[in-house]
Chains A and B, each alone.
Chain A
Amino acid sequence: MASTSQEPTSTNPRGIPTFPFLPTPQDYIKDSTVEATLNRFQEMISKYNFMSQNVERRAAGLREKLPEMKKSLDTVKFLRMQKEGGPDEGDDDEDEDDDAEGKEGRLDVTFPLQDTLYSHATINTSQLDSVYLWLGANVMVAYPLAEAESMLADKLSKAKQSLRAAEEDLEFIRAQTTTLEVATARVHNWDVGEKRRLKAEGNDKSESKDADGDGDD
């Protein structure tokens, strides 16, 4: 549709086209008819809606992934804390030998083996140097704790950024749809006013292409 040639079609940072605001309703209609213009608007609204649904789905996917990434990061952070706070500190704290299992450098955990099945493990935190991160594509890589932490933190912040970008896209699309809806109302109102004027002048040249004519007073 090469119709809105007045302004070069601008887009938002991710390539979603802007629907331009034009000063008067006639600017939208130009040498087309009211009906054709309104149909064109309707078509553009459905295109924007389609885009919006896609972005919404992407955002939902990210929102689902974020808590998982946060969990991994929390776990690695915790392991680091255990390791660093473990062996050399706590001698003269009240860490006496009151807990047989709380021996320094040892951590007991109950971990999920399957969705509803948990098992028991003891981690020797003093010798814990690395964790295995699942990178996808059936690849798992051992990372030193500090490196794992910074990588997970980085991934998390990137995911947050793309979620924010998706949300911005949705807001942008919404603004375009709103402009279109307002444009629809403006063109329609202009048409009604125009018909009334013609009728009042007594030379209504049956320009009733727009069928819901309420110009009856």
Chain B
Amino acid sequence: MMLSRRVLSKEEETETTDNEVTKEDQEKINEFSRLHSRSKVIEEELEGKKKEKEDLEEVTTELELADEDELVRYRIGDTFTHLPLPTAQKLLEESGTEVDSEVSRLEDEISSMKEQMDALKAHLYARFGRGINLEG
């Protein structure tokens, strides 16, 4: 995203405004740019967490079918510890709640960033029309 450097066609040019870029505009453009790249980072992080959440849910269902008399090999760090089923389930539940709260934190962050970006977009398009491109 940036002030377009290509030469605009005549029609496009009439759709741009002659507004000079003010310091305030520049700050808004920078903020938009910052949010844009940050939202990409957060989205990636969220994807990873969601995958983790799915995996944990899968394991939870799997463990419901496990034999209670047998020890579960539960992975902690790089080591598999041999634990009684209830202990493993408890640990699993703890990881589950941790991931859940991470996921909702990231989702909240993304939606608030989206809101701010929309507001900035509305403002900047109103000022510069086709002279600015804030997509992608």
Which residues A142-197 have CB closer than 8 A to chain B?
A: 167, 170-171, 174-175, 178-179, 181-182, 184-186, 188-189
Contact of A185 among B4, B71, B84 (CB under 8 A): B4
Q: How many residues of B contact A (CB 8 A)?
A: 31
Do B82 and A101 have beta carbons less than 8 Å apart? Answer: yes
Do A185 and B37 have beta carbons less than 8 Å apart? Answer: no
Do A179 and B77 have beta carbons less than 8 Å apart? Answer: no
Do B3 and A182 have beta carbons less than 8 Å apart? Answer: yes
Do B37 and A174 have beta carbons less than 8 Å apart? Answer: yes
Q: What is the CA–CA distance of A176 and B4 in the complex, to the nearest angstrom?
A: 17
Could you say which residues of chain B place their CB within 8 Å of the CB of A167?
38, 41
Do A186 and B3 have beta carbons less than 8 Å apart? Answer: yes
Check if B117 is an interface residue, CB within 8 A of chain A.
no
Known: A107-B81, A112-B78, A182-B29. A102 touches B71 (CB 8 A): yes
Do A98 and B69 have beta carbons less than 8 Å apart? Answer: yes
Contact of B26 among A71, A101, A179 (CB under 8 A): A179
Do B82 and A108 have beta carbons less than 8 Å apart? Answer: yes
Do B33 and A186 have beta carbons less than 8 Å apart? Answer: no
Contact of B5 among A75, A174, A179, A184 (CB under 8 A): A184
Do B26 and A21 have beta carbons less than 8 Å apart? Answer: yes
Contact of B77 among A21, A74, A186 (CB under 8 A): A74
Q: What is the CA–CA distance of A101 and B2 in the complex, to the nearest angstrom?
A: 65
Q: What is the CA–CA distance of A184 and B3 in the complex, to the nearest angstrom?
A: 9
Interface string of A105-119 (1 = CB under 8 A from B): 001111110000010
Check if B79 is an interface residue, CB within 8 A of chain A.
yes
Identify the closest chain B residue to A212 (Cβ): B7
Contact of B2 among A98, A111, A178 (CB under 8 A): A178
Identify the closest chain B residue to A177 (Cβ): B33
A113 to chain B, nearest CB (A): 11
Do B2 and A185 have beta carbons less than 8 Å apart? Answer: yes
Q: What is the CA–CA distance of A186 and B38 in the complex, to the nearest angstrom?
A: 26
* Residues of A near any B CB (own CB < 8 A): 21, 23-24, 71-72, 74-75, 78, 98-99, 101-102, 107-112, 118, 167, 170-171, 174-175, 178-179, 181-182, 184-186, 188-189, 212, 214
Contacts A78-B76, A99-B69 aside, 7 further interface pairs with beta carbons under 8 A come to A24-B20, A74-B76, A98-B69, A109-B82, A174-B30, A181-B5, A185-B5
A-B contact pairs, 19 of them (CB 8 A): A21-B26, A71-B76, A72-B77, A75-B76, A75-B77, A78-B81, A101-B71, A108-B71, A110-B81, A118-B80, A178-B1, A178-B30, A181-B5, A182-B3, A182-B21, A182-B29, A185-B3, A188-B5, A214-B7
